[in-house]
Amino acid sequence: MDASTLAVQCQGVMKTYDGGGQRVVALRGIDLDIHRGELMMLVGPSGCGKTTLISVVAGILDQDEGSCEVFGHDLLHMKDKDKLRFRAANIGFVFQAYNLLPSLTAAENVSIPLILNGVKRQEAKRRAVEVLKKVGLGDRTESLPSQFSGGQQQRVAIARALVHGPKLIVCDEPTSALDHETGHRVMDLLKEVALDRDRALVIVTHDARIFGFADRIAQMDDGQVVKVVRSSEEL
Ligand SMILES: Nc1ncnc2c1ncn2[C@@H]1O[C@H](COP(=O)(O)OP(=O)(O)O)[C@@H](O)[C@H]1O
Ligand SMILES: [Mg+2]
């Protein structure tokens, strides 16, 4: 495969944590390519390293060994300032715990990535409201995170990850708190808004109900990718 079609290229990625004096090996040499235009799902048991891997891919966490390139850029060796700028412009991340700022309204939370990219507050809010409409929260733009259900907070978090049109969107369990119908709506939205031939979507999930949305599924176990398949029937 031509390198220019790659959104993400991980080679031999290793990561160990300090677990209170004990070494916890989270990633044991991950090789994984994700192509532009692709929705890649990462599945596997709790603790197998899924969140660690996507954190490395998104430049939130530095690996100990191996390389990980995003659209040909090696985030590990970038200066902090360049890395922040690259991430702000190119990567959208939906955290498992949402990580919304509690004192900001939904529209303000969703505006953040635009403001980080230099968009003026008023224009940022206008675009934030537009994306909130797409996730079904157009009538709740002035509510605070504490005034939303878990599923609604998840939709705000997704709107925030999409609003600046990043080329790589990474989601940690995006549908786990959602009912079946909302989960499908969110996946349709992610595919429609987030995916085109230049972009890629990486989704960590336990939710077998959404496996059908994937182009490929990477199955992880104990810090390794053990299988990459095109359909959940091959898992
Ligand atoms: N900050 C941390 N400090 C120490 N150990 C961690 C930390 N984060 C994760 N781990 C450990 O690393 C392994 C992989 O965790 P994680 O990537 O969160 O897995 P998953 O997302 O698949 O549940 C687990 O054994 C977990 O306990
Ligand atoms: Mg996790």
Provide the CATH number for the domain around residue 178.
Answer: 3.40.50.300
The CA-to-CA distance between both ends of the chain, in Å, stands at: 24
Report the alpha-carbon distance of residue 53 to residue 120 in Å, rounded: 34
pLDDT at 61: 96
Query: Is there an atom of ligand 1 within 6 Å of 138 CB?
Result: no
DSSP 207: -
- Per-residue confidence in pLDDT tens, the chain, 235 aa: 555 789 999 999 999 999 999 999 999 999 999 999 999 999 999 999 999 999 999 999 999 999 999 999 999 999 999 999 999 999 999 988 889 999 999 999 999 999 999 999 999 999 999 999 988 899 999 999 999 998 899 889 999 999 999 999 999 998 887 888 878 888 888 888 778 888 999 999 988 889 999 999 999 999 999 999 998 888 8
Pocket lining: 48 vs ligand 1, CB cutoff 6 Å: yes
Dist CA 77 CA 67 (whole Å): 10
CB pairs under 8 A, 24+ apart, for 184-193?
184/209, 184/210, 185/136, 186/135, 186/154, 186/155, 186/158, 187/213, 189/134, 189/135, 189/158, 190/39, 190/158, 190/162, 191/39, 193/131, 193/134, 193/162
Distances (CA, A) of 41 to 137, 205, 215: 26, 7, 8
* Length reported for the chain: 235
Q: State residue 147's pLDDT score.
A: 97
Using DSSP's 3-state secondary structure scheme, residue 82 falls into: helix
Would the pTM of this model clear 0.95, i.e. be above it? no
Q: What is the DSSP letter of 208?
A: G
pLDDT for 49:
97
Query: Which numbered atom of ligand 1 lies nearest the CA of 49?
Result: 17
The best mutation among 14, 24, 222 to test binding of ligand 1, ranked by most ligand atoms within 8 Å of the C-beta, falls on 24
Q: How many domains does the chain have?
A: 1
Instruction: Tell me, using a 6 A CB cutoff, whether residue 122 lines ligand 1.
Output: no
Structural domain range at position 189: 3-234
